[in-house]
A and B are shown apart, each in its own frame.
Chain A
Amino acid sequence: MQTKGLRRQVGWLYVLPALLLLLTFLIIPFLMSFSYSFTDYNILTPNVKNFVGLQNYINTFKDPVFLQSLKNIAQFIVFIMPIQVGAALGLALIVNKKRPGNMFFKISFFAPQVVSLTVVSILWMYILNPDQGLLNGILGIFHIKPQPFLTSPKQAMFAIIGVSAWQGAGYQMLIFLSGLQSIPQSLYEAAELDGANAWQRFIHITLPMLKPTSVMILTTTFISAFNLMTQPMIMTQGGPQNSTMTPIYYIYRTGFTDRQLGYASAMSVIYGIVIIIFTIIQRKITNAGGDENE
Chain B
Amino acid sequence: MVKIDLDHVYKKYDNAKNYSVKDFNLHINPQEFIVFVGPSGCGKSTTLRMIAGLEDITKGTFKIDGKVMNDVAPKNRDIAMVFQNYALYPHMTVYDNMAFGLKLNKVSKSEIDKKIQKASEILGLKEYLKRKPAALSGGQRQRVALGRAIVRDAPIFLMDEPLSNLDAKLRVTMRAEIAKIHQQLKTTTIYVTHDQTEAMTLADRIVVLKDGQIQQVGTPMEVYNKPANVFVAGFIGSPAMNFFNVKLENGLVHDINGDFNIPVPEGKLNILKDKGYDGQELIMGIRPEDVHTEQVFLESFPHNVVESTVVVSELLGSETQLYTNLGGTELVSKVDARDFAKPGAHVKMGFEMNKVHFFDKDSEETLDN
Contact = CB atoms under 8 A, between A and B. Distances in A.
A184 B73 CA distance: 20
Contacts of B74: 189, 192-193
A209 B92 CA distance: 10
14 contacts: A187-B89, A189-B52, A190-B89, A191-B89, A191-B100, A192-B54, A192-B74, A193-B80, A194-B75, A195-B75, A208-B91, A211-B91, A294-B91, A294-B132
The bracket for how many chain A residues form the interface is 20 to 34
A294 B90 CA distance: 7
Contacts of B105: 195
B83 A209 contact: no
A180 interface: no
A46 to B, nearest CB: 58
B87 interface: yes
A63 interface: no
B293 interface: no
A294 B92 CA distance: 10
B85 A186 contact: yes
Given A184-B87, A186-B85, A205-B89, A193 B100 contact: no
B134 interface: yes
Given A211-B91, A293-B132, A294-B134, A195 B83 contact: no
Interface string B272-294: 00000000000000000000000
Interface stretch (A14-22, A196-204, A217-225, A275-283): A196-204
A204 B96 CA distance: 11
Contacts of A293: 132, 134-135
A196 B135 contact: no
Given A186-B85, A193-B54, A208-B91, 15 more contacts: A184-B85, A189-B52, A189-B54, A189-B74, A189-B83, A190-B88, A191-B100, A193-B80, A193-B101, A194-B104, A194-B148, A195-B101, A205-B89, A292-B132, A293-B132
Given A192-B54, A196-B75, A186 B87 contact: yes
Contacts of B91: 208-209, 211, 294
A209 B90 contact: yes
A187 B77 CA distance: 18
Interface of B: 52-54, 73-75, 77, 79-81, 83, 85, 87-91, 100-101, 104-105, 132, 134-135, 148, 152
Nearest to B134: A293
A189 B88 CA distance: 11
Given A186-B85, A189-B54, A195 B90 contact: no
Contacts, number: 67
Nearest to A293: B134
Given A186-B83, A205-B89, A193 B75 contact: yes
**Residue from the set B79, B101, B135 with the largest chain A CB neighbour count within 10 Å:** B101
Nearest to A197: B75
Contacts of A192: 53-54, 73-75
A156 to B, nearest CB: 41
A104 to B, nearest CB: 21
A193 B79 contact: yes
B129 to A, nearest CB: 15
Contacts of A191: 89, 100
Interface string A252-294: 0000000000000000000000000000000000000000111
Contacts of B148: 190, 194
Nearest to B89: A187
A190 B79 CA distance: 11
B89 A200 contact: no
**Residue from the set A190, A200, A204, A205 with the largest chain B CB neighbour count within 10 Å:** A190
A190 B87 contact: yes
B118 to A, nearest CB: 18
Nearest to B104: A195
A208 B90 CA distance: 9
A203 to B, nearest CB: 11
Given A193-B80, A195-B75, A294-B134, A200 B87 contact: no
Contacts of A193: 52-54, 74-75, 77, 79-81, 101
Contacts of B75: 192-197
Nearest to A183: B90
Nearest to B93: A292
A184 B86 CA distance: 11
Contacts of B100: 191, 194, 196, 204
Contact of B87 (A187, A197, A209, A294): A187
Nearest to A200: B104
Nearest to A207: B91
A184 B84 CA distance: 12
A255 to B, nearest CB: 47
A186 to B, nearest CB: 4
B179 to A, nearest CB: 23
A252 to B, nearest CB: 44
A93 B79 CA distance: 28
Contacts of B134: 293-294
A48 B114 CA distance: 81
The 3 A-B residue pairs whose C-beta atoms are closest, nearest first, are: A194-B101, A186-B87, A190-B87
Contacts of A204: 89, 100
Interface in A37-96: none
A184 B105 CA distance: 23
B250 to A, nearest CB: 60
**Residue from the set A195, A205, A211, A293 with the largest chain B CB neighbour count within 10 Å:** A195
A81 to B, nearest CB: 23
A196 B152 CA distance: 13
**Residue from the set A193, A204, A205, A211 with the largest chain B CB neighbour count within 10 Å:** A193
Contacts of B53: 192-193
A133 to B, nearest CB: 46
A196 B81 contact: no
Interface in A136-190: 184, 186-187, 189-190
